[in-house]
Amino acid sequence: MIAETPVPPYYAVIFTSLRSEVDAGYAAVAERMMALAAEQPGFLGVESAREGLGITVSYWSDLEAVRRWKAQAEHREAQRMGRERWYSRYRVRIARVEREYGA
Amino acid sequence: MIAETPVPPYYAVIFTSLRSEVDAGYAAVAERMMALAAEQPGFLGVESAREGLGITVSYWSDLEAVRRWKAQAEHREAQRMGRERWYSRYRVRIARVEREYGA
């Protein structure tokens, strides 16, 4: 779904990734991380699609909320497993949303 | 592919969309827009995936490059067709990338 975000400014974390050939554990942890993110203070929404390349954009109220989510204990463990097992390459970009429009 | 972007700051245009049931003309114009974007001054790269929800993130050197691309004549016509025919909903977010890391 398209996230219902507030009037900018707010923050976007753009996570792009290519999967490795290791599947074990991935789907459950990915699903858990989406649910866990949604419980965090400052979480505004998330959008995700994979078509070879995976793109997940999560939206946050401010940079402090982004930092807290990166440092959240269960999420840190998931990040470690992602680096070691599930992703052959990934990129995280932290961006300040300045303008939004659409229909 | 994961875009090879320079050291921040630079800009990201996050385009999220849901398709209508109209297919006529869509694939060719979408492909043409990816090629045309890549020719524009200030273009840094693009990442795209669709899995129900479509997410396309294009990267630009500065806000002026983003504005020029939005105003590019052939792109404006594609935007109009997108609004009228191909997308049931869409959202455009313009964001300043402040930090990037990955592996």
pTM for this structure? Answer: 0.97
Q: Per-residue confidence of chain B (103 residues) as pLDDT tens digits?
A: 999 999 999 999 999 999 999 999 999 999 999 999 999 999 999 999 999 999 999 999 999 999 999 999 999 999 999 999 999 999 999 999 999 999 8
* B96·A96 Cβ contact <8 A: yes
**Domain ranges for chain B:** 10-97
pLDDT value for A56: 98
* B12·A14 Cβ contact <8 A: yes
Burial of B2 (0-12, 13-18, 19+ CB in 10 A): middle
Domain A10-97 is found in CATH 3.30.70.100: yes
Interface of B to A at Cβ within 8 Å reads 1-3, 5, 8, 12, 14, 16-18, 47-55, 57, 83, 87, 89-103
pLDDT value for A64: 98
Mean pLDDT of chain A: 97
Q: Which residue of A has its CA nearest to B88?
A: A103
What number of other Cβ atoms are within 10 A of residue A55's Cβ?
26
pLDDT, averaged in runs of 10, over chain A (103 residues): 97 98 96 97 98 98 98 98 97 98 94
Which among A57, A87, A92 is the nearest to B100, CB-wise? A92
ipTM surpassing 0.90: yes
Percent helix, strand, coil in chain B, to 5, is: 35, 40, 25
